Amino acid sequence: MNAVGEIERITQNRIIKLFREELGYRYLGNWEIRPNNSNIEEGLLRSYLIRRGYKGTAINKALHELGKAANNYHESLYNNNKNVYKLLRYGVQVKARVGENYQTVQLIDWHHPEKNDFGIAEEVTVLGNKEKRPDIVLYVNGIAIAVLELKRSTVSIGDGIRQSIVNQRKEFIESFFTTIQFIFAGNDTEGLRYGTIGTPEKFFLKWKEDVEDHSRLQLDKYLIKMCNKKRLLELIYDFVLFDGGIKKLPRVHQYFGIKAAQEHVKRREGGIIWHTQGSGKSIVMVLLAKWILENNPHARVAIITDRDELDKQIERVFTDAGETIVRTTSGRDLMAQLSQAKPRLLCSLVHKFGKKDVDNFEEFIKELENQPSRAVGELFVFVDECHRTQSGKLHRVMKAMLPNAVFIGFTGTPLLKKDKKTSIEVFGKYIHTYKFNEAVEDEVVLDLVYEARDIDQKLTSPERVDAWFAAKTRGLNDFQKAELRKKWGTMQKVLSSRSRMEKVVSDVVYDFSVKPRLSSERGNAILVASSIYEACRYFELFQKTEFKG
């Protein structure tokens, strides 16, 4: 073994020891030369099912159904993985004999982690179209649920990620990944990254927890956090999402946001989830709604938005995630749906709670409050962008019509002082926050840089005209510059007589002349207007500049 191999061997030995001694996994061995390694180790799974009291015929049929789902060569990796996930999560329906009732064979005991057989194997040689060897594979009851690629400190985690991505191709060991839920990559300098099947390299995620604890290497710390038996099963059971052809795992803020919301739901207590825009708020809604409906047989969830495009987006997100959701068509339809036991999941516009031609609003509210609620079941109302309409009259109507509902507000926008006071009065305190600066630090969203501009002062100053002239005449000889200077000499006077919008356009054109990334065409810019009309006017003005076309 060379020096490089020895360094990686030391790291791998340490990680194996961590799983055995701190996480309680059973060491299955070094499987480099072991024949017929598989993502479904039937011997281990059969032994587990026998210990759980299942009989031979039921076990054989369950193994057959699992193998059929995992090795359907006519389906994509995504579909096979999704079908296997359903069997792992909900169990396998089998009928031991003709005429008998169906029996559910649970392959994993999700609610009692200690009753499962957690194992770890290293150097797992897998024969596919081409042989591959993941560094570490984690098994639960003989079913491979995670792979881990380790690199030495001087080699980027990206190498480990790319290795696992390549392994998922048909020409390599794609079929091994049909049971895999987590794909890890790590080293001692960069720590740990995680993704799942089909995750592009740039979307592999970092876990972040107990950030003040520097007592051990980040790799070890976060493997312990994520691969703790209870946590790992919880992540797979409650936080995996198949969303329109893409398998998704939670970001750390989504996990802790949902965990905090679950505690509020158990107490039937509302509140506000503030997760900055672009950080996956709709995924939090989907996973939280799913958890509520699965854990409370009497629960119903209504998603309320204040704009038609948001209403359609929510419907699309839930439908793509495989959740049946009913989109109401009118106020009457909304109340009719709420007055029945089903559907359990629906979405609506807040305006459908309104009532036209109400002369005495206060009297109308009192009338609603004195009427018995027609909503059936334990209703949880998610209000998207809660800082907007929910502070007004429509919200009072909603609260009056649904007095027993629990309201959870979602916002991606910092609440202004008056909005914050009213929103907290309406919904309750913050359940969880994930602010813009945190999202930028985690590379979830791009930073937003604001530069204040005094348009008149900037555009009419002689220094600015000179700078613009210098940028435009770069590379010209003295005679050419002298000729152009005659025309540019009146620039200050011309600019001072222009409208504000024309000055803004000139300011933008100037920046594209002098700012390095813009002048070299390596960067872009966005101009935000206050209205569609103003945006069209800007477009017309830019058409009169060198930006035309």
pLDDT tens digits, 217-257? 999 999 999 999 999 999 999 999 998 899 999 999 999 99
Residues 84 and 210 placed together within one structural domain of the fold: yes
Q: Are 123 and 28 a contacting pair, CB within 8 Å?
A: no
For residues 479-496, average pLDDT: 58
Residues 373 and 470 placed together within one structural domain of the fold: no
Residues 398 and 468 placed together within one structural domain of the fold: no
Residues 431 and 463 placed together within one structural domain of the fold: no
Q: What is the enclosing helix (H) or strand (E) of 185? A: strand 182-187
* pLDDT (tens digit per residue) in 111-126: 999 999 999 999 999 9
Give the count of domains, the chain: 3
Residues 272 and 227 placed together within one structural domain of the fold: no
Range of the domain at 217: 3-237
The answer, yes or no, to whether residue 265 has pLDDT greater than 70, is yes
Query: Which of 412, 441, 470 is at the close of a domain?
Result: 441
Residues 202 and 261 placed together within one structural domain of the fold: no
Query: Would 301 be classed as within a structural domain?
Result: yes
- Count CA atoms closer than 13 A to 61's CA, side-chain side: 18
Lowest mean per-residue pLDDT among 192-206, 325-339, 449-463: 449-463
From first CA to last CA, the distance across the chain in angstroms is 62
What is the pTM assigned to this prediction? 0.82
Exposure letters 288-319 (e unless 16+ CB within 10 A, then b)? bbbbbbeebeebbbbbbbbeeebbeebbebbe
Q: Are 271 and 408 a contacting pair, CB within 8 Å?
A: yes
Residues 226 and 293 placed together within one structural domain of the fold: no
Contacts of 451 (CB under 8 A, 6+ apart): none
Residues 331 and 420 placed together within one structural domain of the fold: yes
Query: Would 386 be classed as within a structural domain?
Result: yes
The answer, yes or no, to whether residue 386 has pLDDT greater than 70, is no
Q: Where would I find the H helices in 353-392?
A: 361-370
Query: Would 449 be classed as within a structural domain?
Result: no
Query: Which of 411, 441, 471 is at the close of a domain?
Result: 441
Q: What whole-number distance in Å separates Cα of residue 324 and Cα of residue 159?
A: 40
Query: Would 205 be classed as within a structural domain?
Result: yes
User: Residue 21 has what pLDDT?
Assistant: 98
Query: Would 244 be classed as within a structural domain?
Result: no
Query: Would 377 be classed as within a structural domain?
Result: yes
Distance of CA 140 to the CA centre of its chain: 25
The answer, yes or no, to whether residue 127 has pLDDT greater than 80, is yes
Domain of residue 376, CATH code: 3.40.50.300
Residues 375 and 509 placed together within one structural domain of the fold: no
Residues 412 and 291 placed together within one structural domain of the fold: yes
Percentage of the chain modeled with pLDDT above 70: 82
Residue 501: other Cβ atoms inside 10 A: 15
- The DSSP letter of residue 352 is G
Query: Which of 414, 441, 468 is at the close of a domain?
Result: 441
Residues 123 and 210 placed together within one structural domain of the fold: yes
The four Cα atoms 533, 534, 538, 539 give a dihedral, to 10 degrees, of -20
Query: Would 320 be classed as within a structural domain?
Result: yes
Query: Would 245 be classed as within a structural domain?
Result: no
As a whole number, the mean pLDDT across the chain is 85
Q: What whole-number distance in Å separates Cα of residue 63 and Cα of residue 351?
A: 52
Residues 367 and 493 placed together within one structural domain of the fold: no
The answer, yes or no, to whether residue 497 has pLDDT greater than 80, is no
Closest-CA residue to 529 (of 488, 510, 501, 509): 501
